A and B are shown apart, each in its own frame.
Chain A
Amino acid sequence: MDNIEQAPDITAFLASSIHDMKNSISVLINFMEDQLADIETQDSPALRKMAPMLYEVKRVNSNLIQLLTIYKVGNTVYPFDLTENSLGEFMEDILSQSKHLLDYQGIQMECEFDPDLYWYFDRELVSGVISHALNNSAHYTQNKLRLSAHQTDAGLEFHIEDNGQGYPPSVLETGHAIEQGVNFSTGSTGLGLYFSSMVAKMHKNQGKTGSITLKNGGAYGGGCFILRLP
């Protein structure tokens, strides 16, 4: 069988293209945030048009980052950086990144954590998981969000809760399947959940492994996303 052409290695192209797209999107986000900051009145028509645009662009950006990270972890070239982080600084970072968008969308955010707590995790990966969950909740909530973090027997737990309709049963099942390590067929949220679950599992300590849970109910009765890090 000499005449079979070898299939090109598409993954390398995909990875470099994603990298390139991610850089363009970053420029776009910086530009849009600058523009939004220049709009003086909070109630202008421009703002109302711009906010959903920013949401969509951020979603694309976070998807690209997740794809790239999954690719790198798969090739074991991701520099997993397990260091002690200040929860206070970490949360402040997260809040400052999501602040713009939540303000424009008119969503109220409540936050609760112990600023003096220190915990071991990879700053970029966990920040990716939390931002993604916040963005997701912001999309489905009515008008309220709650981000909290506290220490439990399982380790450090992050909760992201909203007052939306909650997760549909299909998503709850998918989430369950990922946790079981079962092969799953994706809905639209497959990537984010896969990424979050992968990040959780990369965090190990003393025989314990990190995990995620999706449920309905929680503080505001909507969706509740939980990330546990041992």
Chain B
Amino acid sequence: MAIISDASSLFSSKSFLIVDDFQGMRSMMREMLKAFGAKDIDMCSNGSEAIAQIGKSKYDVVLCDYNLGSGRNGQQVLEEAKFRNLIGPSTAWIMVTAEKTSEMVLGAAEYTPDDYIIKPINETTIKTRILKAMAKKEALFDIEKAAKAKNHTKALALCDEQLKNAGSNTTELLRIKTNLLLSTSHYEGAKQLFEQILAVRDVPWAKTGLAKVYFQTADYDTARSLLEEVVEEHRSYLEAYDWLAKTLEQIGELSEAQRVLVRCAELSPNSVMRQRTLGEIAQKRGDLDVAEKAFRKTLVLGEHSVLKTHHAYLGLAKICSDKNNPAEALKILSSVQKEFDSAETTLQAKVAEGMVYRKSGDLVNAKKVAQEVAATVKEIANRVPSQISVEAAELMMETGDKESASELLQMAVKNNHEDEKLISLVNGVYTKGNMQEEGKKLVEASRKEVAETNNRGISLAREGKLDDAVEMLRNAKTMLPNNTRILMNLAYVMVLHMQKNGHNNTLIREARESVDRVAKLNPSEKRLSQLVGMLEALPG
């Protein structure tokens, strides 16, 4: 392997993209890069050109001005490039800016630049920063690649390997490692590591991380007090506000959650995601004015952003409808179907459309839409979150199609037979359709049916009939792909099978899939990290 020791040949072997709206600045940067030894340099003057350029060629280093005039800013270009996978783990992104912003420095880790340089720029500074960013990308490339490919075990092993001879990347490695532990539900391991870091140094990301562990393991009070400490000590640390609001929402303190989100939105006025969350909390509390303002702001901010979200459109439409403005509600709902090309969003928009008609007294149109919804939902019910099915069922129920509505509700119950929140939503829909008693019986029967299947699977396993147990729960999973209890038990029985009969590629893949699905559906499932641990401990 050739060792490139001098900076000049390093620069000459890499490709660079300069994004700046001022011609003078672009040529000055290019001259600088050339003086450092760079040969492969492209330039563009706005966000759209930059996205097109990044889509066409691969760059090792992007030097992007934050303020790009009208249209997207540098942060939005970076978000889009990452979101659309136009840049991978080998591209270093350096933001050049007149001042640092909260989003750039303390925003969501997946969308922060690798480094930022404050203007006026200085030749030596820019050179060291570029060299440093390139070195970091190179050092972390294998880990990020493994993590991206969801090969967490390998990524963790690589982290540990590099942490042994720690140097400049220690913090970065620890952050990656704790993130990996959290995303694979290794809460005990994550907790230990965070506590270890905090014993030496009060760092907001580690304390926030520790709070995340408590949140995921449903200890919301501890999570809350940790997060309150972080925002008190580090008033601009945005991630802590996000998690604090989430925790407060979880324990039902909505007005406090709203207060935290208002504060956080002030600190990061351009965040699409935070305006949306603020709107949703305010809507949940019935604070329609705050919700409307937040959703409208979400739409404006999302205009140039790849992170724009259909939730704000749906939320705003509902508010318009509640404020007796069905015309605007319908307009928003038709635009959301044009702006977002997804079956799930279209379904949600259709359901909302039916509700708007119904609320405004237009029962003919409400019924028409409900029929369309009934046709679609049959096909995709297993792929959309159960909450959406329940909303669809509500529309069908209220427009008279009680039979289809009930069918859909039973499916939702079977997929979530232990989820009290969802069950109470379902009961609410039955009540609205004047089927309270009948509904209750149906719900109980469905819950019992699933619970029995589960128990039979477990009994078979206890009796040592592991093949039969796997088979039984596997069939249950095919019918009810979103039932976390079945997914958990299936994975557990598969682990037992492999502990007894040795490694089996099919079983290990299926067990992992099940566990991953649970982590997605209900990350705070208590036994999840234990099960993950058992899976990892399997030999071979």
Contact = CB atoms under 8 A, between A and B. Distances in A.
B236 A96 contact: no
A84 B119 CA distance: 22
Contacts of A83: 171
Contacts of B521: none
A27 B120 CA distance: 7
Contacts of B203: 82, 120
Given A96-B124, A97-B125, A118-B168, A81 B119 contact: no
A206 B236 contact: no
A26 B119 CA distance: 8
B358 interface: no
Interface string B461-505: 000000000000000000000000000000000000000000000
B236 A76 contact: yes
Given A84-B170, A97-B125, A204 B233 contact: yes
B235 interface: yes
A78 B106 CA distance: 11
B98 A80 contact: no
Contacts, number: 65
Interface in A14-62: 19, 23, 26-27, 29-30
Nearest to A119: B201
A124 interface: yes
Interface string A180-222: 0000000000000000000000001110000000000000000
B102 A79 contact: yes
Interface string B202-235: 1110000000000000000000000000000111
Nearest to A206: B202
B106 A76 contact: no
Interface string B81-118: 00000000000000000111110111000000000001
B132 interface: yes
B100 A124 contact: yes
Given A26-B119, A204-B202, A205-B201, A80 B236 contact: yes
A81 B105 contact: yes
Interface in A81-129: 81-84, 86, 89, 92-93, 96-97, 118, 120, 124
A77 interface: yes
B267 interface: yes
A84 B171 CA distance: 7
B128 interface: yes
Contacts of B236: 76-80
Nearest to A124: B118
Contacts of B237: 80
B100 A120 contact: no
Contacts of B267: 76-77
Range of interface residues on chain B? Answer: 20 to 34
A209 to B, nearest CB: 11
Contacts of B234: 80, 82
Contact of B125 (A23, A96, A205): A96
B394 to A, nearest CB: 43
B266 interface: yes
Contacts of A82: 203-204, 234
Contact of B170 (A23, A79, A118, A206): A118
Nearest to A26: B120
Contacts of A93: 122, 124-125, 128
Contacts of B132: 89
B163 to A, nearest CB: 14
Interface in B108-165: 118-120, 122-125, 128, 132
Contact of A79 (B105, B120, B123): B105
A83 to B, nearest CB: 7
A112 B124 CA distance: 19
B201 A120 contact: yes
A206 B201 contact: yes
B193 to A, nearest CB: 16
Given A82-B204, A96-B122, A205-B202, A89 B100 contact: no
Contacts of A204: 202, 233
Nearest to A72: B99
Interface in B43-101: 98-101
A23 B67 CA distance: 13
A80 B98 CA distance: 16
Q: Which of A30, A78, A81, A86 has the most CB of B within 10 A?
A: A81
Contact of B98 (A23, A29, A81): A23
A204 B118 CA distance: 24
Nearest to B106: A79
A202 B65 CA distance: 29
Contacts of A84: 170-171
Nearest to A120: B201
A79 to B, nearest CB: 4
A97 B101 contact: no
A81 B201 contact: no
Given A77-B267, A205-B202, 6 more contacts: A68-B99, A79-B104, A83-B171, A84-B170, A93-B125, A118-B170
Interface of A: 19, 23, 26-27, 29-30, 68, 76-84, 86, 89, 92-93, 96-97, 118, 120, 124, 204-206
19 contacts: A23-B98, A26-B98, A26-B120, A77-B236, A77-B266, A78-B236, A79-B101, A79-B105, A80-B235, A82-B203, A84-B170, A86-B168, A93-B122, A93-B125, A96-B124, A118-B168, A124-B118, A204-B233, A206-B201
Smallest CB-CB A-B distances: 6 pairs: A96-B124, A26-B120, A79-B102, A76-B235, A84-B171, A79-B105
